[in-house]
Structure 1
Amino acid sequence: MKTAKELLLDYLNHIGNPDFQIGLFADDAVFELPYLASLGLPARWEGREVLYKFLSNLPKTFPGFKFRNIQIHIDTPQQAFGEYEATAVIAANGKEYAQHYMGRLVAKNGKIQLIREALNMVPVIRDIKGIDIS
C-alpha cells in the first residue's frame, strides 16, 4: 500500500498522464485549489469522473506542464506536504507560465483522498486572467 509521500510523488511526476494519475485517487477523492475561488474560478473537484476530466484538461490548457524542484516537508503514512514549482505555456495566449505550489495530500487505504494546493495568485491574475497588476 502506498504512503502519502509516494502518492504525492507519483501524482507530481506523472502530471499530464491522467490515465495513470486517476488510478492514484479514491472513488470519493477531492482536489482543491481554494484560492482560485477569489477569482470566481472553480476551486473544488470531487469524484474520480470529475477528477479525470480536470486532469485531462490540464495538458490541453497548459502544454508542457511539468513539476520540478519538489521538496517534501511532511511525510507520514497518511499525510504529505510539499512545495514544488511548475512551468508551462498557456494555450489560450501563448504566454509562459511559472508557478510555485504548496500541496497537502491525505491518503486513505493507499489512495489519494484529498489534494489541497495553494499557489501564487500573481501569475494567475497577470498571465492567465490578463489583468495588469503593475
Structure 2
Amino acid sequence: MNNAKQLLAAYLESIRDPHAAAALFADDGVLELPYLKSLGIDGRAQGPKAIEGFIASLIAKVPDFQFKNVRYLIETPEQVFAEYEVEALVPSTGKIYRQMYAGRLVARDGKIALLREALDTVAAADAFSPARAD
C-alpha cells in the first residue's frame, strides 16, 4: 500500500502525465488550490477524470511544468506536508513561471483523498499576464 509520502512523490514525478497523476487519486479524491479563486480560476477538481482535465489544462499552458526541489516537512503514514518548486516558461507570455508550492496530502487506502496546495498568486498572475507596454 502507498503511504502519503509515496503518493506525493509519485504525483510530483508524474505531473507531466495528467492521466498517471490523476490515477493516484481516490474516486472521490480532491485536488484543491483554493488561492486560485483570487485569480478567477476554479482551483478545485474532484475525481480522477476532473483532476486529469485540470492537470492537462495546466500542462497545455506550461508544457515544461515540472516540480523540483521537494522538501518534506511533516510526514505520517496518512498525511504529508511538503514544499516544492516549479520554474518553467509560459509560452503565451514569454515569461518564466517561478513558484513555490506548499502541499498537504491526505492518503486513504493507498490513494490520494486530498491534495491541497498553496501558492504565490502574485507570481502566478505575473507569469500568466501579457507584458504591459509602458
**TM-score, normalised with respect to structure 2:** 0.91
What residue number does 2:23 align with? Answer: 23
Note if 1:128 corresponds to 2:117. no
Deviates more, 1:51-60 or 1:77-86: 51-60
Correspondence 1:68-87 to 2 at 5 A? 68-87=68-87
**1:88-126 CA distance string (max 9 Å, x none):** 111322211110000000000000010000001221122
SS at the partner of 2:112?
Answer: strand
Alignment gaps of 5+ in structure 1: none
Tell me the distance in 2 between the aligned counterparts of 1:20 and 1:70.
19
Note if 1:109 corresponds to 2:95. no
How many corresponding residue pairs? 132
For the aligned residue pairs, the C-alpha RMSD in angstroms reads: 1.5
SS at the partner of 2:92?
Answer: coil
Shift of residue 40, structure 1, vs aligned partner: 1.6
Identity level (%): 45
Tell me the distance in 2 between the aligned counterparts of 1:91 and 1:102.
25
What residue number does 1:96 align with? Answer: 96
**1:66-106 CA distance string (max 9 Å, x none):** 11110001111110000011111113222111100000000
Tell me the distance in 2 between the aligned counterparts of 1:91 and 1:109.
39
Shift of residue 22, structure 1, vs aligned partner: 2.0
SS at the partner of 2:123?
Answer: helix
Alignment gaps of 5+ in structure 2: none
Q: Does the 8 A contact of 1:14 with 1:20 survive in 2?
A: yes
Supply the AA of the counterpart residue of 1:50. A
